[in-house]
Each structure stands twice: as structure tokens, then as C-alpha cells.
């Protein structure tokens, strides 16, 4: 059952691995568990608002929950398949585990239904309560084995803890064993408040946050300790492609690392990223760092940050880098990132 629902698409077209969805009737976890969790309030048949901690967080519309609306947009832009993932603010890694686990379970059940509503057109990254690695592994296994998801989405930090903390290693190892992709996406609420004052949350906060989390995984050797895990970074890894040589130089001069295999530049070849840079030069650098076979199309559909139309940057890829690189990013690499289980 799971295998058939993972990523079986016979339809030609692009595969967009970075899109978001949410249940317009999401259960109010705050009513049952301590902690601060997002809620959704319907404002009409086609619109709703996400609320968090007494404030309106984002206006959303039916593209967030209607498979038919999504397929209509996909058909208009040549997208064969979307991978849907939770809206990052709902990941709730900083809250108590009981509420985060309940919210993850509810979201995953919704995403499974959404995928079922558009057979062959949607796949899903689920949600896990990463603050409890044991429960995160259990929900991860449910996502892959019972719900047929292609992986899970996680944030860039877990409260005060880093993804490179050894307590999260079993989670990454379990993902590798289950054949699950781990999609790492920054959460705007966890960023330094300085960035909001500078009006740089989107432009600088999210890319540096992703780069710090990913570089932390690289220098800690997590990708050697969990060799089978496939980690895909949102937004092309943010600032990571630009800073990688400096990170590696720092390993050499500060920590005395001399083995090439341990260098962040080498470890980064094991990472995957999406293509969401809005710019061919930034995308070229991502291709250089991760490899031309490790970058997949991502758009951030259906939010204002989304690339419009889907794969807009691919026109420059085609003219500058050629058809095979274009086709690999648009579709082929995603088929390798999400191989059918044996
Ligand atoms: Zn996103």
C-alpha cells in the first residue's frame, strides 16, 4: 500500500518537493495540552487564518487544503506532482512533546487524506515531535510505513537544542533505515528578533538559520554517523553554499581537521536541496556544492514567497546549463531522492 503511494507518477511534468498544506479544521491542541500551538480559524468557505499565541499569523486560502485547487494550478504550470509538507510554524518543536505529538498526528492524518484526494499527483512530508526523539521515530515510522509518505519535515532547531545534538542521531539513523527523506525547513518564529527589527526575517533570517543548522550537521559528522539518511534543505540550503569553503577552512585552522572526508565541503555532497533561490547564479552555486544530481525543484506553493510560475528559474538553467541539468532538477533528481522501497 505504502509503496504505491510514495511517488508513483506516470504523468510527465515537474515534481515540486517544496509546497505546504494545512487542515482548515485543525484540532485546537492548546485546549488539551500545555504549550502554545497554532490554530486555524475559518473566515469563509475558501479562506482561513492561522493564529498563534493570541495573534493572527497568516491569511490562507483553499489552496492550502483543496486537492482540486492544487491540481488545477499544477496543470496550469506543468507540475505533475507536489510533495506537501506542514506549514513550518506548526512544527512546534519548542513546545511540550505531548501537544506537539498530538498536533503532528492530526496533521499527518490530514496530509494522508489530502494525498488520497489526488491519486498520483500529491505525496507528503509528515510532521514529528522531534523534542522527543523516541516519539518522533514512532511517528516517522507511521508516516512511512502506514501513511505512505516520502519523508518528514523538521525545523532547524529544537528549542535550545541543535539538530547535531547526539540525542537526535537515532532519529536521522531511523530515517535512513526507513528510506525517509528529512526535509529541513526554517521556522520564522525561532529567529533572532533583531532580524524582525531590520525587516530581514525572510531575506536573511531564514537563509542563515538553515545554513547554521546544516553546517552544524556537517561538522558534527552526522551524515557519516547516519550514512543512509537523505537530508534535503529548503531554499537551496539558504546561505550554506556561499559559506561552505569558509566552514571547511575553519575546521582546518580552528579544530585541526586534516582528513578531507570530514570537511564540510565534502560532507555537503551528501546533502540535497531544493532549487528555491529566485536566481540562476545562486542556484548554480547550490549545484556546485551539492552536485547536479542533488538539487530538486521547490517553489513554496501556495504562499507569497512562491516561485511563479513553478520552475521559473529553470528557463535560465535550460539556456545556461542545458537540457539534461534542466530535466534533472525539474523531475529526474526527485525520482532518485524518493526511490520506491524494495
Ligand atoms: Zn516553505
In this structure, the number of other CB atoms found within 10 A of the CB of residue 159 comes to 10
**187 C-alpha to ligand 1 centroid (Å):** 9
pLDDT at 299: 98
CATH code given to domain 2-20+63-337: 3.20.20.140
Summarised one tens digit per residue, pLDDT across range 139-186 is 999 999 999 999 999 999 999 999 999 999 999 999 999 999 999 999
The whole-chain average pLDDT of the chain stands at: 95
**9 C-alpha to ligand 1 centroid (Å):** 23
**316 C-alpha to ligand 1 centroid (Å):** 22
Average pLDDT over residues 269-296: 98
**306 C-alpha to ligand 1 centroid (Å):** 8
Range in 2-16, 85-99, 254-268 with the lowest mean pLDDT:
2-16
**98 C-alpha to ligand 1 centroid (Å):** 25
Specify the pTM: 0.97
Give percent of the chain above pLDDT 90: 92
**182 C-alpha to ligand 1 centroid (Å):** 14
Find cell 537551496 and name the residue. 236
**2 C-alpha to ligand 1 centroid (Å):** 25
Q: Is residue 2 predicted with pLDDT exceeding 70?
A: no
**134 C-alpha to ligand 1 centroid (Å):** 26
Query: Where does the pLDDT of residue 268 fall: very low under 50, low under 70, confident under 90, or very high at 90 and above?
Result: very high
Let me know: does 22 contact 91? Beta carbons within 8 Å.
Answer: no
**259 C-alpha to ligand 1 centroid (Å):** 35
Q: Is residue 311 predicted with pLDDT exceeding 50?
A: yes
3-state secondary structure 48-79: EEEEECCEEEEEEEHHHCCHHHHHHHHHHHCE
**204 C-alpha to ligand 1 centroid (Å):** 15
pLDDT at 250: 97
Summarised one tens digit per residue, pLDDT across range 62-110 is 999 999 999 999 999 999 999 999 999 999 999 999 999 999 999 999 9
**340 C-alpha to ligand 1 centroid (Å):** 25
**206 C-alpha to ligand 1 centroid (Å):** 10
What residue ranges do the domains of the chain occupy? Answer: 2-20+63-337
pLDDT at 273: 98
**124 C-alpha to ligand 1 centroid (Å):** 13
**305 C-alpha to ligand 1 centroid (Å):** 8
**191 C-alpha to ligand 1 centroid (Å):** 15
Give percent of the chain above pLDDT 70: 97
Q: What count of Cα atoms within 13 Å lies in the side-chain half-sphere of residue 153? A: 28
pLDDT at 192: 87
Let me know: does 296 contact 15? Beta carbons within 8 Å.
Answer: yes
**Phi, psi torsion values for 170, nearest 5 degrees:** -60, -30
**18 C-alpha to ligand 1 centroid (Å):** 6
**118 C-alpha to ligand 1 centroid (Å):** 21
pLDDT at 342: 52
For residues 210 and 216, what is the distance between their CA atoms, to the nearest angstrom? 10
Per DSSP bridges, beta strands 122-127 and 151-154 are: parallel
Angle between helices 240-255 and 280-290 (to 10 degrees): 40
3-state secondary structure the chain: CHHHHHCCCCCCCEEEEEEEECCCCCCCHHHCCCCCCCEEEECCCCEEEEEECCEEEEEEEHHHCCHHHHHHHHHHHCEEEEEEEECHHHCCCCCCHHHHHHHHHHHHHHHHHHHHCCCCCEEEEEECCCCCHHHHHHHHHHHHHHCCCCEEEECCEECCEECCCHHHHHHHHHHHHHCCEEEECCCHHHCCHHHHHCCCHHHHHHHHHHHHHHHHHHHCCHHHHCCCCEEEEHHHHCCHHHHHHHHHHHHHHHHCCCCHHHCHHHHHHHCEEECCCCCHHHHHHHHHHHCCCCEECCCCECCCCCCCCCCCCHHHHHHHHCHHHHHHHHHHHHHHHCCCCC
Let me know: does 158 contact 93? Beta carbons within 8 Å.
Answer: yes
Amino acid at each position: 500500500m505504502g509503496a504505491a503511494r510514495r511517488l508513483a507518477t506516470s504523468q510527465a511534468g515537474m515534481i515540486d518537493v517544496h509546497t505546504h498544506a494545512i487542515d482548515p479544521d485543525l484540532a485546537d491542541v492548546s485546549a488539551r495540552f500545555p504549550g502554545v500551538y497554532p490554530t486555524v480559524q475559518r473566515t469563509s468557505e475558501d479562506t482561513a487564518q492561522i493564529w498563534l499565541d493570541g495573534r493572527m499569523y497568516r491569511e490562507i486560502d483553499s489552496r492550502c487544503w483543496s486537492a482540486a485547487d492544487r491540481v488545477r494550478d499544477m496543470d496550469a504550470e506543468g507540475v505533475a506532482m507536489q510533495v506537501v509538507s506542514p506549514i513550518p510554524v506548526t512544527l512546534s518543536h519548542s513546545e511540550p512533546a505531548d501537544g506537539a505529538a498530538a498536533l503532528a498526528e492530526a496533521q499527518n492524518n490530514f496530509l494522508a487524506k489530502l494525498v488520497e484526494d489526488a491519486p498520483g499527483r500529491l505525496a507528503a512530508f509528515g510532521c514529528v515531535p522531534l523534542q522527543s526523539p523516541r516519539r518522533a521515530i514512532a511517528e516517522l515510522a507511521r508516516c512511512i510505513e502506514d501513511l505512505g509518505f516520502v519523508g518528514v519535515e523538521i525545523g532547524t532547531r529544537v528549542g535550545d537544542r541543535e539538530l547535531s545534538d547526539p540525542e537526535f542521531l537515532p532519529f536521522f539513523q531511523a530515517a535512513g533505515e526507513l528510506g525517509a527523506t528529512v526535509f529541513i525547513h526554517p521556522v520564522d518564529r525561532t529567529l533572532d528578533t533583531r532580524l524582525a527589527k531590520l525587516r530581514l526575517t525572510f531575506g536573511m533570517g531564514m537563509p542563515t538559520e538553515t545554513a547554521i543548522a546544516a553546517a552544524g550537521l556537517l561538522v558534527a559528522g552526522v551524515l557519516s554517523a547516519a550514512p543512509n539518511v537523505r537530508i534535503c534543505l529548503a531554499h537551496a540550503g539558504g546561505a550554506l553554499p556561499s559559506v561552505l569553503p569558509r566552514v571547511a577552512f575553519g575546521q582546518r585552522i580552528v579544530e585541526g581537521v586534516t582528513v578531507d572526508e570530514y570537511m564540510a565541503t565534502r560532507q555537503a555532497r551528501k546533502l540535497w536541496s531544493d532549487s528555491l533561490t529566485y536566481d540562476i547564479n545562486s542556484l548554480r552555486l547550490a549545484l556546485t556544492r551539492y552536485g547536479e544530481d542533488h538539487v530538486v525543484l521547490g517553489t513554496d506553493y501556495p504562499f507569497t514567497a512562491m516561485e511563479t510560475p513553478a520552475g521559473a528559474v529553470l528557463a535560465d538553467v535550460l539556456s545556461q546549463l542545458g537540457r539534461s541539468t534542466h530535466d534533472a532538477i525539474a523531475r529526474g533528481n526527485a525520482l532518485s531522492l524518493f526511490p520506491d522501497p524494495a
